[in-house]
Amino acid sequence: MPGTIGAARRAEPAILTEQLSKEYGGKAALSDLTMTVPRGQVFGFLGPNGAGKTTAVKLLLGLARPTAGEGLVLGEPLGDVAVRRRVGYLPELFRYQDWLTAEEVLLAHGALAARPSAARRGEAQAVLEVVGLAGRARDRVGTFSKGMQQRLGLAVALLGAPELVVLDEPTSALDPTGRHDVREIIHDLKSRGVTVFLNSHLLGEVEQVCDHVAILRAGRVVAQGSLDVLLSSTGVRIEADGVTSGTLQGLERFGEIFLRGTELQVDGIRRQDIPALVAELVARGAQVYAVESRRPSLEEHFLGLMGGR
Amino acid sequence: MRAIAGLTLREMLRRRATLTLAIAVLAFIALSGWAFHALVHSYGPAGEARLYASEQLVFVMLVFSGMLALTASFLSASAISPELESGVAISLLARPLTRSGYVLGKWLGLAALVACFSLLSGALELLVAFWSAGFVPPDPLAALAALGAQALVLMTLGLWLSTRLSSITAAILSVALFFLAWMAGVGGALGVALHNSTLQVAGAVSQLAVPTNGLWQAAEYYLEPPSVVAILHLKGIVGADPFVAASPEPTAFYIWCALWVAGVAGAAVWSLRRRDF
Ligand SMILES: Nc1ncnc2c1ncn2[C@@H]1O[C@H](COP(=O)(O)OP(=O)(O)O)[C@@H](O)[C@H]1O
Ligand SMILES: [Mg+2]
């Protein structure tokens, strides 16, 4: 019953790892990565340079072998060869044979990905269109700028209708237009139900496109979850009269409290707790003039996590 | 694997190094033709000239086989490591392509090139020898096959080295091993002549370690006129002259060569399998 198998396939996560670790020469590049990336999600994998993002991706694609731990990609164990037919990958550092034309690179990748030979040329043209290189199909890769090579890399990653697309720093060489295009491409993949695993150190980029993120620091995940939950720990600024340190007794449970004259600031409070805090203040005789909640950007959150370095 | 073989072949054909080496080999063939021609004209009776030409042909073919070996080494030594360094390999190996498929694809592409080049240029050299000196070796096809096999052996060695070493290092090392094997062959022959068993054993062992010289001896045997071989047997100095082969190589040696190529290609696969990107 292929229908059942298909449904089971869609139900299982795109990526699942269990304590995945990698050492290079005794030095840990990635430690105990445990994560689940559901199908159809745009998953942001964040971290400063050297955090281990690229290492994690190489383990997922079987380009490096884990020192410990295990994982599944589209239901197959790490290192499985056949599953790569369903995975598109844009490496962080790569080159294509610079004596081939853009189209020839895509035809070669189509052959390697075992695409039907009659469909290869059409598919190559289609992905070149998507990344904005349709006019350069017959030009040699050696004549491409770094940004154009990255666009071509993106085209290669999109080739062959993959179920999972892994992008390692896809915009590192792109101009603002290029970055915008990448966001559009990711949105489009998401609307087609394709899972996207996005490695990046560019927080703004991740914040704009990702549903879930994992934040990596020195090889370890320090925060993981949906962007909403991760950023739900907010701060609130309250302008009120009649607040003394006595009034604030016992309110530390909401968060870290700072009082400056008539301005009260509570950091780390969950958004849903703000009404309760205000009610409590009013009950204790404070006159509240203004309540302003603010959601920190991913960047602030990230810097907070990296702060204790 | 077929895709990799095709890409490898195309890449090798458009390299400047390939063109340079091909031109060098062709120039050598032209030069040898001129030399043969001069030889025939400076010697009187046709029979004497022909015998002399056959000896010269063996020497010419020795140099020629060295050039083929050099070509095979240089081409294969740059087949893998530059792709590992530049990041071409990482995008290929993220496809449903096994590491062995990658290495064997490279091997096939190179083998096609090296075999065609050896056979065509070797045939041309023999034709030139025929046209200019009228000499026909006893078994030209077997000689060509042995020369081609020698080039394949060196090509496989270069490919293995190129999974770990830079192009230059791999090329220098495989050419050095080729010359060492040849010198070991000379040493072994000296051992026979001087009745020195240590030299003989060292020669025999290194012959097996890198079987290029054995294949050269095989080619040599098929190039020499039977009269030369008969004289050697009459004098009872079989195996003592490094520049004359008195007997064909045993079948076991060819089986060993095939196993050697398979083993070294396997080592190349293993070396790449162990690599992390
Ligand atoms: N092939 C390798 N050999 C040795 N060390 C490596 C290798 N690849 C990565 N590392 C080390 O592993 C750590 C994580 O690197 P990487 O995964 O590239 O980080 P990121 O992609 O997050 O910038 C770094 O300290 C890096 O030096
Ligand atoms: Mg990286």
Residue B127 has pLDDT above 80, yes or no: yes
pLDDT (average), residues B210-214: 89
* CA distances (Å), origin A145, targets A51, A149, A177: 28, 6, 15
What's the gap in Å between A20 CA and the centre of ligand 2?
17
Residue B200 has pLDDT above 90, yes or no: no
Chain B residues in contact with A58 by the CB 8 A cut-off are 276-277
Unique residue bearing structure tokens 């993981």: A224
pLDDT (average), residues A87-105: 94
The pLDDT tens digits of the residues spanning A98-111 come to 999 999 999 999 99
Tokens of B226: 């039977």
Chain B closest-CA separation from residue A19 CA (Å): 19
Residue B226 has pLDDT above 80, yes or no: no
pLDDT value for A164 = 96
pLDDT value for A78 = 94
Chain B closest-CA separation from residue A30 CA (Å): 14
pLDDT value for B98 = 94
Residue identifier of the C-alpha nearest atom 13 of ligand 1: A29
Query: For a pLDDT cut of 70, what percent of chain A falls above it?
Result: 93
- Put simply, whether the predicted model's pTM sits higher than 0.90 gets the answer no
Average model confidence (pLDDT) across chain B: 87
The tally of CA atoms less than 13 A away on the side-chain side of residue A143 is 9
Q: Is the CB of A33 under 6 A from ligand 1?
A: no
Q: Work out how many CB contacts closer than 8 A connect A with B.
A: 63
CA atoms of A267 and A264, how far apart (whole Å): 10
Task: State CA A152 to chain mean position distance.
Answer: 21
pLDDT (average), residues B108-126: 93
| B14 pLDDT tier (thresholds 50, 70, 90) | confident
Rounded to the nearest 10°, the torsion over CA B37, B39, B44, B50 is -80
Using CB atoms, which residue from B11, B88, B276 is nearest to A96?
Answer: B88
What's the gap in Å between A176 CA and the centre of ligand 2?
20
Rounded to the nearest 10°, the torsion over CA A73, A79, A85, A90 is 80
Q: Is the CB of A195 under 6 A from ligand 1?
A: no
What's the gap in Å between A142 CA and the centre of ligand 2?
24
pLDDT (average), residues B39-48: 66
> Kind and range of the H or E element at A197?
strand A195-200
Q: Is the CB of A29 under 6 A from ligand 1?
A: yes
Residue contact B91–A114, C-beta within 8 A: no
CA atoms of A164 and A16, how far apart (whole Å): 13
pLDDT value for A112 = 94
Residue B49 has pLDDT above 70, yes or no: no
Q: What domains, with CATH codes, occur in chain A?
A: 2-226 (3.40.50.300), 231-305 (3.30.70.100)
The pLDDT tens digits of the residues spanning A180-199 come to 999 999 999 999 999 999 99
Average model confidence (pLDDT) across chain A: 88
The pLDDT tens digits of the residues spanning B67-103 come to 898 889 999 999 999 999 999 999 999 999 999 999 9
Quickly list DSSP for chain B: -HHHHHHHHHHHHT-HHHHHHHHHHHHHHHHHHHHHHHHHHHS-SHHHHHHHHHHHHHHHHHHHHHHHHHHHHHHHHTSSHHHHHHTHHHHHHTSS--HHHHHHHHHHHHHHHHHHHHHHHHHHHHHHHHHHH----S-HHHHHHHHHHHHHHHHHHHHHHTTTS-HHHHHHHHHHHHHHHHHHHHHHHHHHHHT-HHHHHHHHHHHHHSTHHHHHHHHHHHHS-HHHHHHHHHHT-TT--TT---SPPPHHHHHHHHHHHHHHHHHHHHHHHT---
pLDDT value for B18 = 85
Tokens of B29: 């063939």
Residue A309 has pLDDT above 50, yes or no: no
User: Greater confidence, B131 or B227?
Assistant: B131
The pLDDT tens digits of the residues spanning A222-268 come to 888 887 777 666 778 899 998 888 888 888 888 888 888 888 888 87
Chain A closest-CA separation from residue B162 CA (Å): 18
Mutation pick from A61, A95, A99 vs chain B, by most beta carbons of B within 10 Å, is A95
pLDDT value for B277 = 86
In this complex, is the C-beta atom of B16 within 8 Å of any C-beta atom belonging to chain A? no
Of A96-100, B117-121, B195-199, which range is least confident? B195-199
ipTM of the complex: 0.84
Residue identifier of the C-alpha nearest atom 4 of ligand 1: A24
Task: State CA B124 to chain mean position distance.
Answer: 16
Q: Is the CB of A91 under 6 A from ligand 1?
A: no
Q: Is the CB of A52 under 6 A from ligand 1?
A: yes
CA atoms of A25 and A42, how far apart (whole Å): 33
pLDDT value for B261 = 97
Across A68-107, b (16+ Cβ under 10 Å) vs e yields ebebbbbebebbeeebbbbbbbbbbebbbbeebbbbbbbb
Cα A40–Cα A45–Cα A51 angle in degrees, nearest 5 = 160
What's the gap in Å between B276 CA and the centre of ligand 2?
15
Q: Is A274 helix (H, G, I), strand (E, B) or coil?
A: helix
Residue contact B88–A95, C-beta within 8 A: yes
User: Greater confidence, A105 or B41?
Assistant: A105
Cβ neighbors of A73 (< 8 A, separation 6 or more) are A14, A15, A60, A61, A80, A83, A87, A164
Using CB atoms, which residue from A63, A82, A108 is nearest to B96?
Answer: A82
Residue contact A93–B90, C-beta within 8 A: yes
pLDDT (average), residues B143-161: 95
pLDDT value for A239 = 92
* CA distances (Å), origin B40, targets A117, B59, B135: 57, 16, 10
In this complex, is the C-beta atom of B11 within 8 Å of any C-beta atom belonging to chain A? yes
Lay out the sheet containing A256-260: strands in order across.
Answer: A256-260, A263-270, A233-241, A287-294
Domain count for chain B, please give it. Answer: 1
| B156 pLDDT tier (thresholds 50, 70, 90) | very high
| A7 pLDDT tier (thresholds 50, 70, 90) | low
Mutation pick from A112, A120, A149, A163 vs chain B, by most beta carbons of B within 10 Å, is A112
Domain that holds residue B106: 2-273
Residue contact B91–A58, C-beta within 8 A: no
Quickly list DSSP for A72-133: EETTEETT-SGGGGGEEEE-SS----TTSBHHHHHHHHHHHTT--HHHHHHHHHHHHHHTT-
| B130 pLDDT tier (thresholds 50, 70, 90) | confident
